[in-house]
Structure 1
Amino acid sequence: MKTSHKTPLPDAVPAKIFMPVLLSMFLFIGTFFGYILPKVEAHLMDRKREMIHALSESAMGSIRYYAKLAETGAISTAEAKLQAASHLKSLRYGPDGKDYFWINDTHPTMIMHPYRPDLVGQDVTDTKDPAGKKLFQAFLETVKESGGGYVNYHWQWQDDPRRIFSKISYVQEYPQWHWIVGTGVYVEDVRTQIAAITERMTFIFLGILAVIAILSVYVVWQGATGETHRREIEESLKKSEHKYRLLAETAREIILLFNSDFVITYANTAWTRISGYSQGEMTLCSIYDFIPAGHTQLFKEKINKTTDKQSYDQFFETELILKNKTTITVEASFAKMEASSEDTTFLMTARDITEKKKIEAQAKMHQEQLMQTDKMVSLGTLVSGVAHEINNPISSVMLNIQVFEKFWRAVRPVLDNHYNLNQDLEIGTMSYPQMRERMPKLLQFSEEGVERVKRIVGDLKDFSGHKPSDLRETVNLNEVVEKAMGLISSLTKKATNDLRIDYSENLPTLQGNSQRLGQVVINLVVNGCQALGETKRPLHLTTGYLEESEEIFLEVKDFGKGMTPEELSRIKDPFYTTKRDSNGTGLGLSISDTIIRNHGGWLDFKSQPGQGTTATILLPRYGTDEIQGRMI
């Protein structure tokens, strides 16, 4: 009866590997959800508090402005109150532009509320929220105690009275008019942000855990297989001479015997088959004839560690030279055989691991590529979060600029009149005529700067989006190129002194997704910049329309180092990259090709070594069928 042998898998090994990994993951998850998320929530709430405090101060500044007009006699006090209330009623902020201000007096009577006109003029002393809290009395108590502060209560969701949510507002008193001005944010906003972060992190943790589990199983299996194989070789060497030779001749491993002069005295069939040498050709050859020069020193060190009483049976990696002058990588070990005093024989066993090393290198490369992909996703999430955080202070700055513009328009007649009467008015270190000339420009520059920041933030949010593309947008390719080049202007300025963009006039539109097409443009231009090598080399972009085939095209031509035919043939393969040393992932052009194909288009490359590369995008004009794959 034949006995089948299976590679045993030790029971204790999986537990040793998996338990620390699982414990570490649970500890990290517990720390994140039990400590970090509450800290993030508290931080977000603090930022919201700071924002409504700053907005409240801005609103008070507007009231003081109208009160000043009344004091100077420009308008009556009643008119000043009316204008101030009207101004605050028109102000909005927040992501949806629905967050607001309200005014009640110290009676309290409602003076102004943009979403509850039914309360205006009413006594709200006994008005309660759903929890039974007399919120307007709470406002009054807060301002009496410290002039202003935060109050928690429940109120309708912006302009929807059917939805009630927890809210925190900052109220502040303007004592000259006995007004209480307030504005607030909803706690639900912060909870929604925290829920989104929690959902994203949960998916990331599950993915990491799955990858670790698969790799752990692989490592355990490989370790058990290698250890079992090594034990089998050691046991076989202890058998009789006949069995030993039979095993040596039939073994898949390379077995060599050589004397103290390093002359080979025996080579098994595995070595002759792998190396291409015959037994006759091996006669009187030195072992060093088959060792590359770079591995000779290591080989000598391993032999020197082998003594009469102790063999050096630890495996080490080296290379062997074959008859065709190529090399293979082997995992080898030495042993010193029992011999007479006249001579000493060394036993060398080696296993060809060339393919194994290739597989390990590919596995490592794929792991690095997956890590790079995860970094790209995380970067998109980070960019989206940072863009969201920038929007709040930008909204506040824009609001203040609008208020200051109204202030300047209102106060300028007063200052003009004063200057005409006295001819002597200096504000700070600037005369009034200089200030009158420069102030509108300063306000204009400030507003344009804020608008530019808002546009950049919007572009970043679009660029970092991870949702499936909607290809129903009417797209102008010139606008896509202009927007993409604006995002990477700093990179192109550093890469080349000769950037030329030729936009075709009256370019037809196409149907697709401008944000995804922008990603393709950015990827092609970045690749072109990286290929230049010198700033004096030009980079040219050209858009145009082929009337005969009704195709819109974009051509990106760099005058860099170019590509070999082999590189060009694989340039769109997933995970293939010519920039491995600079952390290239090989994903960019593969993703770009997919995006263009989804638009019914075609992405093609032409290149020769030393003559640069030309990337061409062909896209069907709006209302035409997709382009069939072809070389251009």
Structure 2
Amino acid sequence: MAITPLRVGEKELALGIKRDITARKTAEEALSESEERFRQIFEQNQDAQVILGCGECRVIDANPAAIALFGYSREEFIGMEEADLLGEKVCEKVKTGLKLQGGFSFERVDAVRRDGTKAAVSVRGQVITLRQSTMVLCTVRDLTELIRMEEEARYIQAKLIHANKMTSIGTLASGVAHEINNPNNFILFNSTLLSDAWKDAARILERYYRDNGDFSLGGLPYSEMSEVVPELLSGITDGSRRIKGIVDNLKDFSRKDKAGLEGSFDVNRAVMASVSILSNQIAKYTDSFEVDCAEGLPKVKGSGQKIEQVVINLVLNALHALADKKKRVIVATRQEEGRVFIEVRDEGAGMTRDVLDRVMEPFFTTKADLGGTGLGLSISYSIIKEHGGTLEFDSAPGIGTTARITLPAEAEGLE
């Protein structure tokens, strides 16, 4: 109600005007209740929400989730000018003001926390009217956990693919080993038989040589052939035995390990089997490869085949790090205080501290251009861990790298 003084002639009067404001009060109360509901939803939302001034990218308010995500206090948030904590793209959108009618969305941007670190987030913006002012409500969802889960899923998938490939390789190796082994057995048996036959024939040929002088045998003088043939036969026999050893290692590598982690194995034997499988690669990359296996090592509980896989991976990495064939690679074993150690040392390029800190991360590789997947060392680390051991690296750029496996010795072997 409003009262206005009024003079009419000699009379002093008052003009009263009465208005019905019920509708306005109802509207104001409804607006107040609506803003209070918005405030409660805003405060309790698990997603970070930041209210920005429409057209100016100035922070007006932030909810507790935003405070936790970005590390600023509410006082530090409010009034923050040119808020680039959500990135330039978001700020540019907000500055377009009322043109935002339908809002905006970014599936992934790099948000900047108070300490300068970055966090991958998704941002959705919507124009709202609050306290009779136009603002932009930005809902920010932290994608860190989602990205971690996606990477873990890719890692598991890659391990499954790797396991499937290893199974296929094992099946192929087993088949090839069988196909090679059969004809090689004929070679080994026949070379031994020929060697015995030559010894008997050589006595007769030697008497003939003494009685009649030199003669031709296989296009060469007998005097030369008498020395060459034993060497040739010995070379055939040694080569065949070497093939048999490689085939046996392939068969062992591809054979399913029935004992699993409940069995026990000889570390030196696992190391020598790995070196034998890699003999061709070793000859390709270095002229100085050394194996120093300590005697009397206790057995280790677990899977010898899995440890072979780890040693093969470490030796291959060492070989690939060498600048030329003059550089050395040394594989050594030893025992100390109930533990068995396997060390692979190289005189290669070495690693920086940054690379060394990430070397066992899944998918991290410095050999992407050579087809590296970044899974070898992470899988090796998992294998050693399930054996109750450790896998550590010491490295210096330009000097080389030492990979050190530590495994607990089997209790019976320590008695």
TM range (shorter): 0.5 to 0.7
Aligned to 2:165: 375
2:262 equivalent to 1:262 = no
In the other structure, the counterpart of 2:243 is 453
Find the aligned partners of 2:42 and 2:124 in 1 and give their Cα distance: 15
Alignment partner of 1:587 is 2:379: yes
State the Cα distance separating 1:391 from its structure 2 match: 1.6
Shift of 1:265: 4.5
Alpha-carbon distance between aligned partners in 1 of 2:233 and 2:226, rounded to the nearest angstrom: 12
Question: Is the contact made by 2:123 and 2:139 (CA closer than 8 Å) also made in structure 1?
Answer: yes
In the alignment, structure 1 residue 333 sits paired with structure 2 residue 124: yes
Give the whole-Å Cα distance in 1 for the aligned partners of 2:404 and 2:81: 55
Q: Assess if the C-alpha contact under 8 Å between 1:335 and 1:348 holds in 2.
A: yes
Equivalent position to 2:78, from 278, 282, 307: 282
Cα offset, 1:460, TM superposition: 1.4
CA distance, structure 2, for counterparts of residue 318 and residue 383 of structure 1: 48
Pairwise CA distance, 1:247: 3.7
**Residue by residue, what CA displacement relative to the aligned partner does 1:365-424 show, whole Å, maximum 9, x if unpaired?**
333233333333333333222212222332344455467667767877898899877976
AA aligned opposite 2:307 = V
Q: Which amino acid aligns with 1:251?
A: N
Contact residue 476 and residue 508 of structure 1 kept, 8 A: no
**Tell me, what secondary structure is at the counterpart of 1:319?**
strand
Instruction: Please tell me whether the aligned partners of residues 471 and 512 of structure 1 are also in contact (alpha carbons under 8 angstroms).
Output: no
Residue pair 1:606, 1:613 contacting (<8 A) in 2 also: yes
Structure 1 residue aligned with 2:185:
395
Contact 2:54 2:95 in 1 (8 A): no
C-alpha distance in 2 between matches for 1:284 and 1:544 = 62
Q: Secondary structure at the match of 1:586?
A: helix
* Structure 2 CA distance for partners of 1:375 and 1:483, relative to 1, 3 Å: closer
Match of 1:110 in 2: none
Q: 1:461 Cα shift?
A: 0.9
Q: Superposition RMSD on alpha carbons, in Å?
A: 5.1
Tell me the distance in 1 between the aligned counterparts of 2:300 and 2:63.
Answer: 66
What aligned pairs does 1:398-437 form with structure 2 within 5 A after superposition? 398=188, 401=191, 425=216, 427=218, 429-431=219-221, 433-437=223-227
Shift of 1:457: 0.1
TM-score (norm 2): 0.63
CA distance in 1, matches of 2:310, 2:125: 53
Cα distance in structure 2, aligned partners of 1:510 and 1:244: 70
Are the counterparts in 1 of residues 55 and 98 from structure 2 also a CA contact under 8 Å? no
Residue 431 to residue 592, structure 1, CA distance change in 2 (3 Å): same
The match for 2:314 is 527
CA contact (8 A) 1:508 1:622 kept: no
In the TM superposition, residue 478 of structure 1 has moved relative to its aligned partner by 5.5
Distance 1:553 1:247 in 2: 60
CA distance 1:259–1:620, change in 2 (3 Å)? closer
Residues in 2 aligned to 1:474 and 1:314: alpha-carbon distance in whole angstroms: 58
Q: How does 1:30-41 map to 2 (within 5 A)?
A: none
Listed as ranges, the gaps of 5+ residues in structure 1 are 1-238, 598-602, 626-632
* Structure 1 range deviating more: 318-327 or 493-502: 493-502
SS at match of 2:257: coil
Task: Select which of 202, 227, 232 maps to 1:442.
Answer: 232
- Which structure features the higher share of strand residues? 2
Shift in Å at residue 349 of structure 1? 2.9
CA shift in 2, pair 1:246/1:554, >3 Å: closer
- Secondary structure, counterpart of 1:580 in structure 2: coil
Aligned residue for 2:376, secondary structure, equals coil
Would you say the 8 A contact 1:531–1:558 is kept in 2?
yes
Q: Output aligned runs, 1:83-482, within 5 Å.
A: 244=38, 247-253=41-47, 254-265=49-60, 267-268=62-63, 270-272=65-67, 274-275=69-70, 276-278=72-74, 281-283=77-79, 285-288=81-84, 290-292=85-87, 296=88, 298-299=89-90, 308=99, 311-335=102-126, 346-398=136-188, 401=191, 425=216, 427=218, 429-431=219-221, 433-469=223-259, 481-482=271-272
**Does 416-425 or 309-318 show the bigger shift?**
416-425
Cα distance in 1 for partners of 2:330, 2:234 equals 35
SS of equivalent to 2:378: coil
| Offset at residue 300 of structure 1 (A) | 6.3
Helix, strand or coil: the match of 1:311? coil
Please state how far the C-alpha of 1:332 moved relative to its aligned partner. 1.4
Contact 2:313–2:376 under 8 Å retained in 1: no
Q: What secondary structure is seen at the aligned counterpart in 1 of 2:57?
A: coil
Structure 1 position 333, deviation (Å) = 2.3
Q: By how many angstroms is 1:458 displaced?
A: 0.7
Decide whether the 8 Å contact of 1:510 with 1:619 is kept in 2. yes
What percent of counterpart residues are identical? 22
Instruction: Give the conservation status (yes or no) of the 8 Å contact 2:289–2:329.
Output: yes
Shift of 1:453: 0.7
Q: Which amino acid aligns with 1:447?
A: T
Tell me which residue corresponds to 1:558: 345
> Higher relative contact order at CA 8 Å, sep ≥6: structure 1 or structure 2?
2
Is the 8 Å Cα contact of residues 495 and 534 (structure 1) preserved in structure 2?
A: yes
Quote how far apart the aligned CAs of 1:345 are. Answer: 5.1
Aligned residues: 359
